[in-house]
Amino acid sequence: MFSFSIKAKDVGSSARLGEFSTPHGSFETPCFMPVATQATVKTLSPEQINLTKSSIILSNAYHLSRRPGEKVIQELGGLHKFMNWPGPILTDSGGFQVFSLAKLNKVTDEGVQFRDPVNGDAISFTPESVIKIQEALGPDIIMPLDQPVPYPTTLEMAKRANERTTNWARRSLAAKSRTDQMLFGIVHGSTYKDLRRQSAESLVELGFKGYAIGGLSVGEGTDLLFDSLGPALEILPGDAPRYLMGVGTPEDIVRAVNMGVDMFDCVLPTRNGRNGWAFTSEGVVRIKNLQYQKDLSSLDAKCGCYTCRNFSKGYLRHLFMSGEILGMTLMSIHNIYYYQALMEGIRNKIIS
C-alpha cells in the first residue's frame, strides 16, 4: 500500500530521486506540496491545482478539526472526497499551533490545552486525539502531535520539548489503527546539534517509516537552519522519506535537496502570489509596479504555465490594481507552477 524507493542518486551531493506510493497514487521526490490549510489552496480550485503539475497537497488537522470538524468531513466521505482532490494528501497535526498560538495554550506532558482564537472555546489536544482526528479525516500521510519551540530558546527548554515530542511520538504510534495511513516522526532540537541527533536517534528506534524535520524556519536564519538540519539527516535512514517542514525559498529548497531532503511545503508561493509577487527565471516580479502598466509580455518567457501562456503583465497589474480576485488566482497558479518546474528540473539533474 505504501512504498518509498530511491531511483537515482546525485554523484556530487546527497540529493536523491525517489518514488513514493500511497493509496491515492504515486509521486516523485524531491517534491513540493502546495498548502491547503482549510482543505483548499487559497483562491484555487482542484482543477487549477492540477494545472500547476502538483501531485500531493498538504492540509492542517488542527484547523479542520475546528471547522467544519473531522466528524463532519468523515460523514461527507473523507478529506479527498470533501475537497474533490483525488491525489495524495498529507496533514500536519497542529503542532505548529503549539508554537504560533503560544499565548493561548498550556503545554503539559499529557498534551496541549488551547483557547480557540475564533470563539474562545477550550480545546484539548493529546497525541491520541490528534491521531484519531487524522484517521477521521482520512489523508494518506499523517503527523504526530509535537512541540516546536521558538528561536531563541534555552537548552533546557529545548531538551524538555524534545522529551515530550518523543514521548508523544511513542503514544501516537500506539494510538494509530488505520493501515492505509503512514505516520511520520518529527525531529526537533531547535538549533542544538546534539539534540537534533538525539531526537532523530529516538525516532529511528521507534521504527517510523518516514521522518519530518520540524522546528526550523522560525527566525533562526539560513545558516543556523542548515547547520541544524545536517545532524538530523546524518542519523535518519536513507531508505525512508525525509520531509523538511515549512521551508521555503527556491534557494533553500535546492540547498536542502543537496543535503538529502525529499519533501517540502511552504505558503510562500501562494501568499506571495496573492500579494502580487511572482517568482520568475529573471527574479521576483512585483506586478503592482507602474512599469508593468503597458507591458504586453508574460510574467516569464521561459514559463509554460496557464497564466504565462494567456495573460500579459499589463493585464495582471490591472487585476491587482482593480482588486479583482482573478489576479490572485493567476499569480498563485504561476508561482506554484514555478516551484513544480523547479522540482522537475532538480529531479532531471539528479538523473543526469
Indicate which residues carry an active-site annotation: 92, 265
Query: Which residues does 122 contact at the CB level (< 8 Å), separation at least 6?
Result: 113, 114, 115, 116
The C-alpha cell 536542502 sits at 256
Long-range contact pairs involving 306-315 (C-beta distance under 8 Å, separation at least 24): 306/48, 306/51, 306/330, 306/333, 306/337, 307/331, 307/333, 307/334, 307/337, 308/334, 313/285, 313/287
What separation in angstroms does the CA of 60 have from each of 91, 93, 101, 154, 253? 5, 7, 15, 28, 21
- Kindly state the cell numbers that stand for 164: 515530550
- The half-sphere exposure of 67 on its side-chain side, counting CA atoms within 13 A, is 8
Q: Is the dihedral of CA 161, 30, 283, 45 positive or negative?
A: negative
The Cα–Cα gap between 254 and 251 comes to: 5
